[in-house]
Amino acid sequence: MTIKSVILSGGSGTRLWPASRESYPKQLLPLTGEHSLLQETAARLKGFAAVEVDPRPLVVTNEEYRFIIAEQLRQMGVRAPQIVLEPVGRNTAPALTLAALVAEEEGDPILLVMPADHVITDLPAFQQAIAVGAKAAAGGALVTFGIVPDHPETGYGYIRAGEAVDAGEGARALLEFVEKPDRATAERYVDSGAYFWNSGIFMMRASVWLTAITRFNPDMANACRAAIAGRSHDADFIRLDAAAFERSPSDSIDYAVMERLASAPELGAGVVVPLAAGWSDVGAWDALWAVSAKDGDGNAARGEVLFESSRNTLVHAGSRLVAAVGCEDMVVVETPDAVMVAHKSHTQDVKKVVARLKAEGRSLTQSHRKVYRPWGWYDSIDAGERFQVKRIVVNPGAKLSLQMHHHRAEHWIVVRGTAEVTSGDRTFLLAENESTYIPLGHTHRLANPGKVPLEIIEVQSGSYLGEDDIVRFEDTYGRAPA
C-alpha cells in the first residue's frame, strides 16, 4: 500500500491581497513560517511511517505557476515531481481525474488529495488521521476528512457523519454534505456532534476514483482520458491535449462524486475521518491571525514589526519596519507597492477592494513589484516618464530569452557575479562594476554562466516600457514568442 500526495494548486486567494496576487497567490507565500503553504503541504507526510509514501508529489496547476512551483519543490529536496498543467480551469474533480490517470500508470496508489493553500499546525494529529483514512481507502472507501468544529462557523460547508465504520479508530459513515448554514443552524450542527467542517481533503485509490467519476460523469472522464492520451512531457511538466481538456465539464470533487455515493453503494462506502489538527483554509487575514504564533497581548507579526499598546492585531510587513501603536483587533499588511489596513471583523471585504482595482484596470491585483520568472526574478525599483529601473537576479546557469524591443533601449550594470551578454552578433562577458548598452531594436540576451546568482541593475529608456514589448526569437523555457 503506497500513498501518493496529490496537491491541487490553482487558486488565487484574493482575500489575502495585497500579499496574494493572481500571478503569485497565497499558496506560494510563506505566511506561517519559513516555507510557503505549497512547500508545507508537500512536506506533510515527511516522517510518516504508517505506510509507504511516494516521495514525488503530483501537483495539478496551470501554466503561470509552473516554474515557481517547480523551484519551490526543488528547494524542499523533491526530485522529479510530476506537475500536470491545466490549460484551463475546470475545478477540482477534473484535476483529481487527471492525477488519478497519471498515478494509475505506476500501480494503483492511495491518493491523498490536498489543496495547496491550507495550514495544519498539529502534524502528528494529521498523520494519525491519515493512517485511519488510508486503512479505509485501502479497502475501497472514498474518504473525506471532517474538521472537528470548535465554534459555529457560517463560512464553511459541513459534512454529516453517521455511525462508526471501524473498531474504534474514528472513521464514520458519510451521510451528506451540507451547504454553508446560517448562525442558528451552525450552532445546532456543532451541538449535535454529528457534523464536521468540510476540509476539502480526500483519500481513495486511483482506480476507485476513476470508476466513480466514469459512473457519475462520463463526459468528464472521457475528456480527461483524451487529454492525458494526447499529453506531452516538458522537463517536470505534463502538458495536456488542450482541446480535449476544454471539453470537460467543470465540477468539484464534492458535487461530482462524494455527494452521490449513497445512490451507488456498489462503488464503495463514503467515509468521514474526524480531523483535529489545527486546520485552517486561511481564507482571510483574520483566519491567518487565528493560526499564527502570538505574543502575550495576542499580537501576531511577520517581518520587522514593533507593537506598542496594541492587542489582538496582525501585522504582515513585507519590505520595511511597520510600527503598530494603539491598535486592537486590526490587520495591517505592507508590501512594496500597497498597504492594506482593516478591522479583523471586515477582512472578508478585502475581495471588494480587489474587485474595484480590477474594474479600474489596476495591475496591483495581478502582480507584485517583484516578479518571478523561470530564470530568476526582477524588482521594478523606480519608474517615471520614459524611464524604468529594475534590479534583476539571474539564477546560476539560467538565461533570459533571445529577444528585442521596438520601443526601448537598455543599460545593464553588473553589481554581482558574471554576465554573459549577447548583443547583436557579439557575445561577451561582463564582470562586477562593468556595464553595456543595448540599443533599441537590437537582438540581445542575458545569461549567468557562473555558480553564484548574477545581479544587475537595468535602466530602460524609451517611449513605451511595457512588458509586452518583447519579441522572442529563442527561449530555453518553452515560452511562446511574444
pLDDT digit string, tens, across residues 340-384: 999 999 999 999 999 999 999 998 999 999 999 999 999 999 999
pLDDT digit string, tens, across residues 451-479: 999 999 999 999 999 988 999 999 988 77
Question: DSSP H helical segments within 233-302, as ranges?
Answer: 242-246, 253-256, 285-291
pLDDT digit string, tens, across residues 295-335: 999 999 999 999 999 999 999 999 999 999 999 999 999 99
| Residues 354, 365: Cα–Cα separation, whole Å | 6
Q: Is the pLDDT of residue 481 over 80?
A: no
**Residue-level pLDDT at 235:** 79
The mean pLDDT value for 256-282 works out to 91
**Residue-level pLDDT at 144:** 97
Q: Is the pLDDT of residue 267 over 80?
A: yes
**Residue-level pLDDT at 431:** 97
Burial letters 3-38, b for 16+ CB under 10 A, else e: bbbbbbbbbbbbbbbbbbbbbbbbbbbebbeebbbb
pLDDT digit string, tens, across residues 433-451: 999 999 999 999 999 999 9
| Residues 320, 301: Cα–Cα separation, whole Å | 13
The mean pLDDT value for 16-23 works out to 95
**Residue-level pLDDT at 168:** 64
Decide if 2-280 and 370-474 have a common fold.
Answer: no
Q: How many Cβ atoms are within 10 Å of 435's Cβ, its own excluded?
A: 14
Burial of 136 (0-12, 13-18, 19+ CB in 10 A): buried
Q: Is the pLDDT of residue 263 over 90?
A: no
Q: Is the pLDDT of residue 421 over 80?
A: yes
Q: Is the pLDDT of residue 13 over 80?
A: no
**Residue-level pLDDT at 430:** 98
**Residue-level pLDDT at 480:** 66
Answer whether 300's CB lies under 8 Å from 294's CB: yes
Burial of 321 (0-12, 13-18, 19+ CB in 10 A): exposed
Residue 258 is classified by DSSP as G
**Residue-level pLDDT at 50:** 79
Burial letters 280-319, b for 16+ CB under 10 A, else e: bbbbbbbbbbbbbeeeeeebbbbeebebeebeebbbbbbe
The mean pLDDT value for 20-37 works out to 94
| Residues 332, 432: Cα–Cα separation, whole Å | 39
pLDDT digit string, tens, across residues 126-136: 999 999 999 99
Q: Is the pLDDT of residue 167 over 60?
A: no
- Residue in 88, 205, 212, 77 with CA at minimum distance from that of residue 139: 205
**Residue-level pLDDT at 224:** 98
| Residues 7, 116: Cα–Cα separation, whole Å | 6
pLDDT digit string, tens, across residues 190-239: 999 999 999 999 999 999 999 999 999 999 999 999 999 999 998 789 99
Residue type at 222?
N
| Residues 174, 474: Cα–Cα separation, whole Å | 54
Strand pairing class (408-416; 435-438): antiparallel
| Residues 315, 453: Cα–Cα separation, whole Å | 31
Answer whether 165's CB lies under 8 Å from 173's CB: yes
Q: Is the pLDDT of residue 51 over 90?
A: no
Residue type at 182?
D
Answer whether 314's CB lies under 8 Å from 329's CB: no
**Residue-level pLDDT at 49:** 84
**Superfamily of domain 370-474, CATH level 4:** Jelly Rolls (2.60.120.10)
The mean pLDDT value for 101-113 works out to 95
What average pLDDT does the structure give for the chain?
Answer: 94
Domain boundaries, the chain: 2-280, 285-359, 370-474
Query: For residue 64, how far is the Cα from the chain centroid?
Result: 11
- What is the CATH code of the structural domain delimited by 2-280? 3.90.550.10
Q: Is the pLDDT of residue 415 over 70?
A: yes
